[in-house]
Structure 1
Amino acid sequence: MIKLNVHNETSRLRAVVLGTAISNGSTPTIEEAYDPKSIEHIKAGTYPLEKDMVLEMEALAKVFEKHSVKVYRPEVIEDCNQIFARDIAFVIGDKLIKSNILPDREKEIDAIQYIIDEISPENIISTTDDVHFEGGDVMLWNDYIFIGTYKGKDYSDIITARTNMKGVEFIRNLFPNKIVKEFDLSKSNTVARDNALHLDCCFQPVGKDKAIIHKEGFTSEQDYNYLVNLFGKENLFHISKDEMYYMFSNVFSISEEVVVSEKNFTRLNNWLRECGLTVEEVPYAEIAKQEGLLRCSTLPLIRD
C-alpha cells in the first residue's frame, strides 16, 4: 500500500507520479488548445514535438533516480497528452483529491488507476461537477494551503480559469485545521504574458523560507502583500512578465536543499545557488510551450 504524506512543497521527496510524453498525439488545432501560449506556438509552427518532450521528461526521471525517488508513470493512452500529472489529482496530507478537470481529459485519471488502487479507499476524495480545482492551483506550506482561483463573473467563459470558489470552500471544509488562503489570479484567454494559468505559474516556495513570485500574476495587491508579509520581501525572488511566460516559478523541489530547474533559467538558478541550494538543471523548454513546466508534470505522493 502507498501511505500518502505531503504537507509542503519542499520536504524530502520519496515517491512521485511523473507524467509521460509518449504517444502524445498530433499538434492540436487552435480550437483544441486550452491556453494562449499553446495557441501562440500552434500558429507559429513551433509547437513541441513528441520526441523532444520525451527526452526532456527522461532527463527529469534520471534526476529522480539519482536522488532515490520512487517514480510512477501513467499507463500510456494512445494519442493523448499525459504530461501534466499535477492537473488530474493532488495530495494534501494523507488524502488524494481527484480534480474536476476539463471533460476531454478525464481519461488521464484512469491511466493512474493502478496507483490509486494502492491507496486506502477512505483516502481518495472525489467531488461533484460544480466543484473545480486543478493541482497547479493548490500549494501546501505546512499550516497553510494556498489556492489560486478566479473570482470574475465570466468564470465559465475563461478557459484558463481552472479553480472556482466552490473548489476553495471544498478544500477549506475538508481541512478545517489548515489556514486556507485563496488568491485571485490574472487570467487571459488570448495573451500568454498576461495569463497566470495556475498559482504555480506566478508563485512557489523553495528551500526552507524562500519563494519565487510574479507580482502581476495576482489581481489584488493585497494578495501579493499577504505573501510578502508571510515570507519577507528579502526571501522572495521577483520574476518579470517574460520570466513568468517562460515558467520561472514552475520549478520542482526534491528537498529543502535540492531544486530541479530549467537549464536556461540563468538568473533564477544563480539566485537559488546563492541561497545555498543545489540546482539540478534539466532541459524543459519544449514542454514549457504548453504553459506548464516541472511542477505541472509531477504529482508528489510521499514527502518526509
Structure 2
Amino acid sequence: MLQLNVKNESSRLRAVVLGTAKSNGPTPTIEEAYDPKSLEHIIAGTYPVEQDMILEMEAFNKVFQKYDVKVYRPEIIENCNQIFTRDIGFVIDDIFIKANILPDRENELDAINYIIETMHPDKVVRPPEEVHIEGGDVMLWNDYIFIGTYKGADYKDYITARTNMQGVEYIKKIFPHKIVKEFNLSKSRTEPRDNALHLDCCFQPVGENKGIIYKGGFLDEADYQYLVELFGMENLFHIEREEMYHMFSNVFSIDKNVVVSEKNFIRLNNWLRENGFVVEEIPYAEISKQEGLLRCSTLPLIRD
C-alpha cells in the first residue's frame, strides 16, 4: 500500500508522478486550444514539438533521480497530451483527490490508475460532478490550504476557469481542521499575460516561509494582501507581468532548500540562491508554451 503524505509544497519529496510528453499528438487546432498561451503559439507556428518536450521532461526526471525520488509515469495514451499530471489529481495529507477535469481529459486519469490501485481505497475520493477543482489551484502550507478560484457569474464561459466555489466548499468539508482560503484569480481567454490559469501561475510558497508572487494575478487586492501579511513582504519575491507569462512562480521544490527552476529565470534563480536555496536549473521553455511548467508536470504523492 502506498502511504500518501503531502502537507506542504516543500518538505523532502519521496514519491511523485511525473507526466510524459511521449505520443503527445499533433499540434492542436485553434479551436482545440485550452488556454490563451497555447493559442498564441499555435497561431505563431511556434507550438512545441514532442521531441523537445521529451528532452525537457527527461532533464526533470534526472534531477529526481539525483535526489533519490521514486518517480512514477503515466501509461502512454496514443496522441494525448499527458504532461500536466497536476491537473488530474492531488494529495492533501493522506488523501488522493481525483479531479473533475475537462471531460475530454478523463482518460489521463485512467493512465495513472495502476498507481491509484496501490492506495488504500478509503483514501481515494472523487468529488461530485458539480465540483470543479484542479491540482494547480490547490496549494498546501501546513495548516493552510490555499485554493485559486474564479467567482465571476460568467464562470462557465471561461475554459480558463478551472476551480469553482463548489470546489472550495468541498475541500472545506473534507478537511475541517484546516484553514481553507480561496483566492479570486484574474482570467482571460485571449491574453496569456492576464490569465492566471491556476493559483500556481501567480503564487507558490518555497522553503519554510518564503514565496513567489504576482500581484496582478489576483482580482481582489485583499487576497494579495492576505498573503503579504501571512508571509511578510520581505519573504516574497515579486514577479512582473512578463515573468508571470513565462511562469516564474511555477517552479517545484524537492526539499526545504532545493528548488527545480527553469534555467532562463535568471532574476528568480539569483534571489533563490541569495536566500540559501540550491537551484537545480533545467530547460523547460518549450513546455511552458502550453501555459504550464514544473509544478504543473508533477503530482507529489509522498513528502516527509
TM-score range normalised by the length of the shorter chain? over 0.9
Give the Cα separation in 2 of the matches to 1:177 and 1:190. 39
Q: Does 1:207 pair with 2:210?
A: no
Q: 1: distance between equivalents of 2:35 and 2:154?
A: 16
Corresponding residue number in structure 2 for 1:100: 100
Using structure 1 for the length normalisation, give the TM-score: 1.00
One-letter code of the match for 1:137?
Answer: D
* Residue 208 (structure 1) shift: 1.2
In 2, the alpha carbon distance for the partners of 1:73 and 1:282 equals: 19
Tell me which residue corresponds to 2:154: 154
Aligned length: 304
Q: After superposition, give the CA deviation of every residue in 1:172-211 in whole Å (9 maximum; x if it has no partner).
A: 0000000000000000000110000000000000011100
Q: Amino acid of the residue matched to residue 241 of structure 2?
A: K
Partner of 2:260: 260
Matched residues, percent identical? 74
Large movers: runs of 4+ above 2 Å: none
Task: Give the secondary-structure state (helix, strand or coil) at the position aligned to 1:83.
Answer: coil
Q: Secondary structure at the match of 2:295?
A: coil
Paired residue for 1:136? 136
**Aligned-residue offset at 1:128:** 1.4
Structure 1 match to 2:28: 28
How far the C-alpha of 1:127 sits from its partner, in A, is 1.4
CA-CA distance at 1:125 after TM superposition: 0.6
Distance 2:28 2:98 in 1: 25
Provide the C-alpha distance between the structure 2 equivalents of 1:255 and 1:174, rounded to a whole number of angstroms: 27
2:106 matched to 1:121? no
Q: Distance in 2 between matches of 1:17 and 1:144?
A: 23
Aligned Cα root-mean-square deviation (Å): 0.3
Shift in Å, 1:217: 0.1
Please report how far the alpha carbon of residue 261 of structure 1 lies from its aligned counterpart in structure 2 after TM superposition.
0.1
Once residues 198 and 154 of structure 2 are traced to their aligned partners in structure 1, the CA distance between those partners, rounded to angstroms, is 17
Structure 2: gaps spanning 5 or more residues: none
**Counterpart amino acid of residue 62 in structure 1:** K
Letter in 2 for 1:14: R
Residue in structure 2 matched with residue 43 of structure 1 by the alignment: 43
Shift of residue 129, structure 1, vs aligned partner? 1.2
- Aligned mates of 2:30, 2:201 — CA distance in 1: 22
- The alpha-carbon deviation at position 290 of structure 1 amounts to 0.2
- Cα distance, 1:82 vs. partner? 0.1
CA distance in 1 between partners of 2:127 and 2:240 (Å) = 36
Query: C-alpha deviations, 1:79-101, integer Å up to 9, x for none?
Result: 00000000000000000000000
Query: How far apart, in 1, do the equivalents of 2:208 and 2:98 lie?
Result: 28
Separation of aligned partners in 2, 1:48 and 1:197: 19
Q: Tell me, in whole angstroms, the C-alpha distance in 2 between the residues paired with 1:143 and 1:137.
A: 17
Letter in 2 for 1:165: M
Residue number in structure 2 paired with 1:273: 273
In structure 1, C-alpha distance between the alignment counterparts of 2:259 and 2:84, rounded to whole Å: 19
CA shift at 1:158, angstroms? 0.5
- After superposition, give the CA deviation of every residue in 1:98-124 in whole Å (9 maximum; x if it has no partner): 000000100000000000000000000
Is 1:166 the equivalent of 2:158? no
SS in structure 1 opposite 2:200?
Answer: helix
State the distance in 2 between where 1:268 and 1:86 align: 23
3-state SS of paired residue (1:254):
strand
- Write the letter of the residue equivalent to 2:211: A
Give the letter for the 1:172 counterpart. K
Give the match's secondary structure for 1:289.
helix
SS in 1 for 2:193: helix
CA distance in 2, matches of 1:67, 1:186: 36
